[in-house]
Structure 1
Amino acid sequence: MLFRSWAQVTDPGWPDVARVSDQVGGTHLVVTRHALVRQVLADPVSYRPDNALDAVTAMPVTALRVLAGHRFRLPPTLANNSGASHPRIRAIVADALHPARVAAQRQWLTGLVRDRVTRIGGTLDAGEPVDLHAELAADLPLLVLARLVDLPDASVGAVKEFARAALELFWAPLDADRQLALATEVGRFHRVLRDFAATGGGLAAELRAAGHPADVVVGALFFLLVAGQETTSQFLTLLLHRLAGEPAVRAGLRAGDVTVADVVEEGLRLEPPIVTWRRVAATESTLGGTAVPAGTSLVLWLGRAGRDPAVVEFPDEFRPGQRGSRRHLAFGAGAHRCVGDVLARMEATVVVAEAASLLDGVDVVRAPWCPDNLTFRMPDALVVRRSGAPADRA
């Protein structure tokens, strides 16, 4: 189960807290109940984020040598930082993603999405299949982020490949050959980030000016590119797929009976791109009646916590606006709550408002496939075509 938590989120057999072994015999405490997950996230003293970037599959010496050759380092920066520097680093990043700056991008993004929807609609009308992940969702968050934060001069494809490689390298079950290939990809782009961190403007310059060392600047850029824009593009694809199977919700949007904002929140609750997150117990404690020795690895099942019947009335049904819908933990909670939540919500509301109509009268030819991964779903495609179009066109 540990690496397919997104696929077993509705399994009724899970207790509030359970001990689970991974593929190499390591033991983890999986926490499923909303109140307990929030309790852990809100207590960074008892449950520290230090293991957030520990590779879930121990890397062989060959992969470690490749990373070392690229001078790959990720010191405590944002999600993995329990130290005194965290609030200062977070404040600088939060200012770069300030709600006012995010709001200023809405008109530009709306125009971009509208143009893409028009083009995609024409392709569908011609009877051809369209991959909504590749043609609409995959690069949007990166394009928006680049307007808010100075980024290295690299192609969109190179950044996306790096981000997905990092998500796989640190959070997936892997064999040694795959780890070596991923380490090469991640290490190579990490060198690009390091060069940019030394001279780049915008956020990089602000972090340098505040006295943060080069590794911290690189770490901040790493988090933005990997756990920021990549997860948002994943969510857009997952949400569009869910909406394709919710004709009543789409009808409610058309009629004005359902709000776009409520659709986004219900999507975050039921289709979060990040399904688990990790903490490590700093001291001996008790969680939901279960003893937690110091040093225990905790896996917080965010996806299942969003379906807790103690929080939401219809936990497995897509009902925008229902009681408890907005109490999901898709962005975490506490001191390490996602600093880009406003940006992700803005992007999702624009996509739903402009693109939901594309899903009327279409069939899903190929649903998203998600690989084994402890934390990230990483959908690869969402292919649709007009209902009744010849199947051989797909």
Structure 2
Amino acid sequence: MLFRSWEQAPQARWPDVAPVADHVGVEHLLVTRHALVRQVLTDPGTYRPDNALDAVTPMPVAALRVLAAHRFRLPPTLANNGGASHPEIRALVADALHPTRVAAQRDWLAALVRRRVADLSVRLDAGEPVDLHAELAADLPLLVLARLVELPDAPVAAVKGFARAALELFWAPLDADRQQTLATEVGLFHQLLRDFAATGGGLAGSLRAAGHSPDVLVGALFFLLVAGQETTSQFLTLLMHRLTGEPAILAGLRNGSVAVADVVEEGLRLEPPIVTWRRIAAVDTTLGGTPVAAGTSVVLWLARAGRDPVTVDSPDEFRPGQRGSRRHLAFGAGVHRCVGDQLARMEAATVVAEVAPLLAGVRVVRPPRCPDNLTFRMPDAFVVRR
């Protein structure tokens, strides 16, 4: 019930705070309202991030053995770190993704996107269908991230495969055979990250110089390769798909009456790639009048919070610039707010600006399909033709 209900259930069916059970019977407290979601995110003393990267489907011994054979560990590093080391690790990552450094990538990225859009336009003009996910959006954030944090020249397909495997292994409902297969894929790439962490420059070098352990270096790189690029790829695809159904917005982008930045923010509100996030109650407390016992798993429905009618004028309409549009929680809030938010915004704005004319002249042949997943939408393709 936690997996696809965020897409299917109207707002009115959900109370502010509701107890729910997941696919294996584990009880969670689901939080749907913007103010309450924000309250939890900004109170790390009461609601800790310790469970943020816990596997939704408990892993069987066979899968755990596979991970152990590859020395796989995810110590508290970024998203799951509520300890004293978090501010320093976060500061080093933030420096690598500093807005000035991000802005310096804009022209390079715009030129790359422009070339791809031109090539895709030629193929569309020839009557071919094209997959805008695979052929435009999928690898762009990874290519930018590699330049910013000096990642090794790992094959793009291998990194993308690893990232999607990790999202499925930790956040999807799975059977034991699938868990073991994914554990093998994630474990193998984790070993490559461990080798790079020992000698690599850029962010890895900065973390080593600060005295952080190899496990922390690998954990930071692991999370960056998932949260720092895969989620943005997903968002680009979801936003392009949404825009094909918004001809007035596309026309406004072309004539300048609609701002690209406003389109990106409204897209983040209505089409976030991350739909939920987790916290665990550290103490007995109350939330929205509901008692919360220490140890309770709290699921924050970020996507639903973005459609809270208390926060935004027209919750279900794509209206760039409307009141409340920028108050979404797509990047979280508080001390664990996404450190790459400016990077994701720059990438999305660049793609929207370059691809808007192409989107105005296509029809959707195959919309994105998103598998069951507690947190990530993971669109698989987006095929269009003239």
TM-score (norm. length: structure 2): 0.99
Letter in 1 for 2:341: D
Cα 1:6–1:379 shift into 2, 3 Å: farther
The one-letter code matched in structure 2 to 1:194 is R
The CA distance in 2 between the partners of 1:132 and 1:10, in whole Å, is 29
Q: Secondary structure at the match of 2:159?
A: helix
Q: Secondary structure at the match of 1:219?
A: helix
In structure 1, distance between residues paired with 2:6 and 2:220: 27
Kindly provide the CA deviation profile for residues 304-331 of structure 1, in whole angstroms up to 9, marking residues without a partner as x: 0000000000000000000000000000
**Correspondences of 1:94-105 after superposition (within 5 Å):** 94-105=94-105
9 and 356 in structure 1: CA distance in 2 versus 1, 3 angstrom threshold? farther
AA matched with 2:327: R
Given the superposition, is the C-alpha separation of residues 338 and 9 from structure 1 closer, same or farther in structure 2, using an over 3 Å criterion?
farther
| 1:288 pairs with 2:255 | no
Q: What secondary structure is seen at the aligned counterpart in 2 of 1:335? A: helix
* Partner Cα separation in structure 2 for residue 89 and residue 350 of structure 1: 29
Task: Report if aligned partners of 1:18, 1:31 keep a CA contact under 8 Å in 2.
Answer: yes
**Closer, same or farther: CA 59–276 of 1 in aligned 2, 3 Å:** same
Give, in angstroms, the shift of residue 361 of structure 1.
2.3
What is the letter of the counterpart of residue 315 of structure 2? Answer: P
Kept in 2, the 8 Å contact 1:9–1:304? The answer is no
Provide the residue aligned with 1:236 in structure 2. Answer: 236
Mapped partners of 1:268, 1:188: distance in 2: 33
Mapped to 2, the partners of 1:5 and 1:233 lie a distance apart of: 23
1:97-246 paired onto structure 2 within 5 Å: 97-246=97-246
How much does 1:150 deviate? 1.5
2:7 is paired with a residue of what secondary structure? Answer: coil
Q: 1:58 — aligned with what?
A: 58
Distance in 2 between the 1:9 and 1:237 partners?
23
Distance 2:153 2:307 in 1: 41
* Displaced runs of 4 or more, over 2 A: 8-12
**2:22 maps to 1:22:** yes
Deviation at 1:255, TM superposition (A): 1.7
Q: 1:7 is paired with a residue of what secondary structure?
A: helix
Residue 52 of structure 2 aligns to a residue whose secondary structure is: coil
Question: Partner of 2:18: helix, strand, or coil?
Answer: strand
Distance in 2, matches of 1:256 and 1:329, equals: 27
Cα displacement (A) at 1:143: 0.3
Residue 152 of structure 1 deviates from its aligned partner by: 2.9
> Contact 2:254–2:356 at 8 Å: present in 1 too?
no
Partner of 2:256: 256
- Bigger mean CA offset, 7-16 vs 102-111: 7-16
Equivalent in the alignment of 1:297:
297
SS in 2 for 1:320: coil
**Deviation for aligned residue 1:8:** 2.8
| Pairing 1:32–2:32 present | yes
* TM superposition score normalised by structure 1: 0.97
Preserved contact between residue 331 and residue 337 of structure 2 (Cα < 8 Å): yes
Residue 370 of structure 1 aligns with which residue? 370
Where structure 2 has 5 or more consecutive residues not aligned to the other structure, the ranges are none
Letter in 2 for 1:114: R
The alignment status of 1:319 with 2:324, answered yes or no, reads no
CA shift digits 1:278-325 (9 cap, x unpaired): 000000010011000000000000000000000000000000000000
Determine helix, strand or coil for the equivalent of 1:278.
strand
| Paired AA for residue 310 in structure 1 | V
In the TM superposition, what is the alpha-carbon distance from 1:159 to its structure 2 partner?
0.1
Q: CA deviation at 1:5?
A: 4.1
Matched-pair contact (CA < 8 Å) for 2:11–2:304: no
Partner of 1:385: 385
Give the aligned residue type for 2:203: L
CA offsets per residue over residues 10-48 of structure 1, 9 Å max, x none? 442011000000111100000000000000000000000
Alpha carbons of structure 1 residues 289 and 43: separation in structure 2 relative to 1, 3 Å: same
Write the distance in 1 (CA, Å) between the matches of 2:294 and 2:260. 44
TM-superposed deviation, 1:3: 1.2
- Give the deviation of 1:192 after TM superposition: 0.2
- For 1:21 and 1:169, the matched residues in 2 are separated by 19
C-alpha RMSD over aligned residues: 0.7
Task: Give the equivalent residue in structure 2 for 1:265.
Answer: 265
* 8 Å CA contact 1:277, 1:300 repeated in 2: yes
SS in 2 for 1:295: coil
1:69 aligns with 2:72: no
Size of the aligned set, in residue pairs, is: 386
Q: What secondary structure is seen at the aligned counterpart in 1 of 2:229?
A: helix
Q: For 1:11 and 1:261, locate their aligned partners in 2 and report how far apart those are by CA, in whole Å.
A: 27
Separation in 1, partners of 2:223, 2:267:
23
Q: Corresponding residue for 2:358? A: 358
Where does residue 308 of structure 1 map in the other structure? 308
Structure 1 residue matching 2:286: 3-state secondary structure: strand
Q: Secondary structure at the match of 1:384?
A: strand
Cα distance, 1:9–1:138 mapped onto 2, change above 3 Å: farther
Query: 2:114 and 2:131 mapped to 1: Cα distance?
Result: 16
Q: In the alignment, is the contact (CA less than 8 A) between 1:10 and 1:304 conserved in 2?
A: no
Map 1:87-98; keep pairs closer than 5 Å.
87-98=87-98
